[in-house]
Amino acid sequence: GQNIDQPTEMTATEGAIVQINCTYQTSGFNGLFWYQQHAGEAPTFLSYNVLDGLEEKGRFSSFLSRSKGYSYLLLKELQMKDSASYLCAALDSNYQLIWGAGTKLIIKP
Amino acid sequence: IAGITQAPTSQILAAGRRMTLRCTQDMRHNAMYWYRQDLGLGLRLIHYSNTAGTTGKGEVPDGYSVSRANTDDFPLTLASAVPSQTSVYFCASSDSRGGPDTQYFGPGTRLTVL
């Protein structure tokens, strides 16, 4: 079956760095997405990786290892507004997105 | 630019009633999707449409139907609502003709079936 695993909840301190991990098992693979979702709002696109390695975009970076079925989202210089859920999703061989349940990130002052 | 709009924002519905959730996008995206999101679960695909005039079933299609008469609109109909259809419903669209097929989401409809 197809499966995405990510931690349910994480807590970090304002100004710190946090890494949110995601492992995936899909029928074929055409890329890995990260989305941010604030409470009561729609998911918004953060990053897309299809090749191995690190993609940096400001305070956020995303890493992919295809051989390990593993990705992480790295958030630096955490701000209170980064409190949200972070959704990992893998694109399978049919170009359908398989979604994880999301990681709720709580930022403390 | 509005992006994707959904209506209504929220709705309380009696079991057995028929309900249509509306979704409209102005980005001329070819693909559109309906998801439901329940606490503790990931987004689950209900139905999708790769282009106007075609639709397909997702992971949880039972009890739902869709149509795609044109590029912009993708309504989702619950023929006879049941309490298990209480959820937040998100419509999304993407330009799947090239690139990473990033999906863009509407604001959601919070539906409660009593």
- pLDDT for A2 equals 85
Chain B residues near residue A41 by CB distance under 8 angstroms: 107-108
| Residues 6 or more apart whose Cβ sits within 8 Å of residue A30 | A50, A91, A92, A93, A95
Q: Residue B98: pLDDT band by 50, 70, 90 thresholds?
A: low
Instruction: Tell me the shortest Cα–Cα distance from A43 to chain B, in angstroms.
Output: 6
Sign of CA dihedral B41, B46, B49, B52: negative
What pLDDT, in 10s, does the model give residues B15-43?
A: 999 999 999 999 999 999 999 999 888 89
Question: Which DSSP string do the residues of A24-80 spell out, in sequence order?
Answer: EE-SS---EEEEEE-TTS--EEEEEE-SSEEEEETTEEEEEETTTTEEEEEE-S--G
Within 10 angstroms of residue B105's Cβ, the number of other Cβ atoms is 22
Q: Is B87 on the interface with A (CB under 8 A)?
A: no
What pLDDT, in 10s, does the model give residues A45-81?
A: 999 999 999 999 999 999 999 999 999 999 999 999 9
- pLDDT for B101 equals 76
3-state secondary structure of B96: coil
Contact A25, A69 (CB under 8 A): yes
Q: Is B104 on the interface with A (CB under 8 A)?
A: yes
What average pLDDT does the structure give for chain A?
95
- pLDDT for B99 equals 57
Q: Which of A41, A48, A102 sits opposite B100 (nearest CB)?
A: A48
